[in-house]
Structure 1
Amino acid sequence: MTVTITKQAEKYLEALAKALEIPHSRYEQAEKSYKSLGDWLHRDDSGVKNFDPDVFVQGSFRLGTVIKPQSDEEEYDVDCACALNALGKSNISQFALKELLGEEIKLYRKNKGIKKEVHEGRRCWRLEYADGAQFHMDIVPCIPNAADQRLLLEARNLDARFADTAIAITDNEVPQYYEITEDWPRSNPRGYAEWFKSRMGDVFIRRREQVFNEMRSEGVTASVEDIPTYRVRTPLQSAIMILKRHRDTVFADDPTDKPISIIISSLAAHTYEGEKTIGYALLSILSRMEQAIEHDGVRYIIKNPTDALENFADKWEEYPERAQAFFGWLEQAREDFSSAGRLVEYRRMSSVLANRMGRDITDQASDAALQPSHPGGSSLLGAAAAASSSSAPSVSFADTPRTPKKPDGFA
């Protein structure tokens, strides 16, 4: 099945992504919150000050792929990590680390007048802000793990490019949680963000330069490197945002089998090839997603690009219905967006996608797309349209069954 992306569909999908964006103030609010916690941990009478605490954001807020909640009752989930850089696995247990940081977070809650109690999760502590804030912050305690991670990967001839930012995290469900041991759960959110940025390639660099020039013309003083990723909206980020909302709506009544965001983001980033427009990127990613999934004859494997020993699809073997749910969703997304991509009337596009994206969002997109274009309003889309004005891009979705293979770019 061949899908042609009309110029009208390109404009509509750009408006759809824009409708899903959260205000910059939400990113700034998240940044202010985790920096405030970091300042608290560095105060003179802090119980962890001498351990060099470092609080940093991770997940969709770091990648710039957060989408608006579907309702006023739904909260933004700000994922953070707090590394105590002066500690190591040889002198503290996961339990002790989590309790040490937990006490400070509880003191912070009281000092800031946050009414809701701090909640302990499997790997994190959760700070519940006031209802009006509409967000909570999950803080994962961790310690540096760069040296051990590099040794682990290089001993197996695996890619260790991102090992310098690796961390060891707490997990109260692992057997060695209370023991002082070298065996800790591993993670690398900073490394993942760098890999993700590298997948955006030249598009990210050009767009960041554009944002820098816009900020400078407004009198804002900053270097290009200081511009946060969330201010740099690329087709890859926008395509992921659209796919996440489609996923949320399709699995509204089945949250257990809903494909997790790290799988969608990783597969999308692996199969993104620098497409200049949101629509072309979205349909191209959908056509290639299975190419980034391995199958060893027994199980599906979606490797963490910063740690090839971690399989993001590890639960699919235990719960095969989740694999079935993912591939079913992928086919549905292909059908929905390829159908919309053939259309030229914005209202018809909204009708096609309303049940998958939400009527409010699709109506916002069609209303925005119907507005007259303003000069300079969409430089990336305009540049791409000019470059390809002789022919509309098309993407082929093969009708024959696919066999997952080892994805390009994985170690």
Structure 2
Amino acid sequence: MAASATTSSKRFIEAIADELGISDGRYEQANDSYLSLGRWLNRPASTIAVYAPAVYIQGSFGLGTVIKPLSLEEEYDVDAVCEFKSIAKHTVSQKRLKTLLGTEIEAYRKAQTMVKPLGEGRRCWTLNYAEGAQFHMDIVPAVPNGAEVRRMLEAHRFDARWAGTAIAITDNERYNYSVVSDDWPRSNPKGYLQWFKSRMLVVLTERKRELAKSINATVEQIPDYRVRTPLQAAIMILKRHRDIMFQDDEIHCCPISIIITTLSAHAYNGEEDIAEALLSILSGMDRYIQRDERGRAWIRNPSDPMENFADKWAEYPARERAFYNWLAQARDDFRRIANMEGRTLIAEALTPRMGAELAKRAEGRLGGTGSLLRGATSAAASSTPSFGSTPRVPSTPKGFA
């Protein structure tokens, strides 16, 4: 698939990305929520302050690939980690660590007069914010695990450059959840984020430099969420295309976001135009799916190459078929769009693939010029979050990225 597009299609795809993007206020709300919790966990009266708990964002908010929900009934999922910096995994059970964190989060919930009860997931605690807030925060308890992961990767001759920030996390379905053990589930959201940023660093830096110059600021003063790269925009578009295609998915075969994000970042070649990035990514993303000696698919976690993001495909072959069906459909859809002229024609073609409301809003947006700078879009017009007053119900997550 040639990485070229008409001027009309380029502008329309850019408008789609702008419409999918969330406001700066939403990012600030996510930042404020985890910073507030972090301050609580480290206050003098905290029962866990002695363990140096550090709270940070992971998932799509950290990666800058969050998209607006399909409907008012869906919530934004703010994924966070609470890493106990001064606890080693061989000194505490997963259950004990999770209980320690849960006790303090429950105290925080009461202090903040949150009405909804604290939820418990397989690996996390869930803070459900007020009615109408349209978001909840999942907090995963963790302990440092960088040294062990580095040794393991180097022993198997894998790239260990991102291993230093690896963590061990809790999982209440693990066989050893209640006992002290060295065998914990692994994760490395900070390492993954650094790898992801490395795939778009040149363009990200240039976008931040442009924005800093326009508002008479320094590059260091510009948070990453204030700009959007073509890689991030392409991933956002692909995630929405996926959402629409699998809107009625009853057998849970919808391709997960971390797979789309990882393959897209691998296939991105530094394009400075969203449409060209999108076409290039679609053309090459499946080349980064490896196969083992038994023919099973491997999509390695770049921050932990011994983890396979496609590990469920062998157990559930329908998921692998669903991914390739989605990829073929996305290639066909955006190849056709790339050759079109005229925003009305493009809107009609995209309606069944991206949603009628989104296509209509993008068509209306083309009265202006659009921008890759978040601060220049209407989606970022307000510096304070606007959450409305309609109660929301959490949706089923489609992957942490």
Residue pairs, 1:12-411, within 5 angstroms: 12-216=12-216, 223-254=218-249, 256-296=252-292, 297-369=294-366, 371-373=367-369
Gapped regions of structure 1 (runs ≥ 5): 218-222, 381-411
% of aligned pairs identical?
Answer: 52
- Give the 3-state SS of the residue equivalent to 1:195 in structure 2: helix
CA separation of 1:226/1:178 partners in 2, compared to 1, >3 Å: closer, same or farther? farther
Q: Confirm or deny: 8 A CA contact 1:64 1:231 kept in the other structure.
A: no
Residues 57-87 of structure 1: CA distance to partner in whole angstroms, max 9, x if unpaired? 0000000000001111110000000001010
Deviation at 1:227, TM superposition (A): 2.9
Deviation at 1:156, TM superposition (A): 1.1
- Give the 3-state SS of the residue equivalent to 1:137 in structure 2: strand
Residues 162-195 of structure 1: CA distance to partner in whole angstroms, max 9, x if unpaired? 1111110001111111121111110000110000
| Aligned counterparts of 1:46 and 1:310: Cα–Cα separation in 2 | 35
| Aligned counterparts of 1:120 and 1:55: Cα–Cα separation in 2 | 18
| Aligned counterparts of 1:179 and 1:210: Cα–Cα separation in 2 | 53
**Letter paired with 1:273:** N
Residues 66-120 of structure 1: CA distance to partner in whole angstroms, max 9, x if unpaired? 0001111110000000001010012101110001100111111011010000000
**Letter paired with 1:5:** A
Residues 124-163 of structure 1: CA distance to partner in whole angstroms, max 9, x if unpaired? 0000001211000000000011111111111111111011
Residues 184-212 of structure 1: CA distance to partner in whole angstroms, max 9, x if unpaired? 11000011000000000311111121122
**Letter paired with 2:239:** K
TM-score (norm 2): 0.90
Q: Which residue does 2:393 correspond to in 1? A: none
Q: Confirm or deny: 8 A CA contact 1:3 1:338 kept in the other structure.
A: no
Q: Which moved more, 1:258-267 or 1:226-235?
A: 226-235
- Give the 3-state SS of the residue equivalent to 2:137 in structure 1: strand
Q: Confirm or deny: 8 A CA contact 2:80 2:137 kept in the other structure.
A: yes
Deviation at 1:4, TM superposition (A): 4.3
**Letter paired with 1:334:** R
**Letter paired with 2:204:** F
Deviation at 1:226, TM superposition (A): 4.7
CA separation of 1:379/1:57 partners in 2, compared to 1, >3 Å: closer, same or farther? closer
**Letter paired with 2:37:** L
| Aligned counterparts of 2:45 and 2:368: Cα–Cα separation in 1 | 58
**Letter paired with 1:272:** Y
TM-score (norm 1): 0.88
Deviation at 1:372, TM superposition (A): 4.6
| Aligned counterparts of 1:215 and 1:91: Cα–Cα separation in 2 | 50
**Letter paired with 2:177:** Y
Q: Which residue does 1:395 correspond to in 2? A: none
CA separation of 1:372/1:188 partners in 2, compared to 1, >3 Å: closer, same or farther? closer
| Aligned counterparts of 2:146 and 2:288: Cα–Cα separation in 1 | 26
**Letter paired with 2:265:** A
| Aligned counterparts of 1:279 and 1:61: Cα–Cα separation in 2 | 23
| Aligned counterparts of 1:252 and 1:87: Cα–Cα separation in 2 | 42
| Aligned counterparts of 1:308 and 1:21: Cα–Cα separation in 2 | 30
| Aligned counterparts of 2:62 and 2:158: Cα–Cα separation in 1 | 25
Q: Confirm or deny: 8 A CA contact 2:171 2:177 kept in the other structure.
A: yes
- Give the 3-state SS of the residue equivalent to 2:99 in structure 1: helix
CA RMSD of aligned residues (A): 1.6
Q: Which moved more, 1:179-188 or 1:318-327?
A: 179-188
| Aligned counterparts of 2:314 and 2:242: Cα–Cα separation in 1 | 21
Gapped regions of structure 2 (runs ≥ 5): 375-401
Hey, which bits of structure 1, 4+ residues long, moved more than 6 A?
none
Q: Confirm or deny: 8 A CA contact 2:226 2:373 kept in the other structure.
A: no
Q: Confirm or deny: 8 A CA contact 2:3 2:277 kept in the other structure.
A: no
Q: Confirm or deny: 8 A CA contact 2:4 2:279 kept in the other structure.
A: no
CA separation of 1:215/1:178 partners in 2, compared to 1, >3 Å: closer, same or farther? farther
Deviation at 1:216, TM superposition (A): 2.6
| Aligned counterparts of 1:24 and 1:147: Cα–Cα separation in 2 | 36
Counting matched residue pairs gives 372
Q: Confirm or deny: 8 A CA contact 1:6 1:341 kept in the other structure.
A: yes
| Aligned counterparts of 2:340 and 2:323: Cα–Cα separation in 1 | 26
- Give the 3-state SS of the residue equivalent to 2:139 in structure 1: strand
| Aligned counterparts of 1:372 and 1:133: Cα–Cα separation in 2 | 30
| Aligned counterparts of 1:2 and 1:30: Cα–Cα separation in 2 | 38
- Give the 3-state SS of the residue equivalent to 2:68 in structure 1: coil
**Letter paired with 1:308:** P
Deviation at 1:3, TM superposition (A): 7.0
Deviation at 1:224, TM superposition (A): 2.5
Q: Confirm or deny: 8 A CA contact 2:3 2:280 kept in the other structure.
A: no
- Give the 3-state SS of the residue equivalent to 1:131 in structure 2: coil
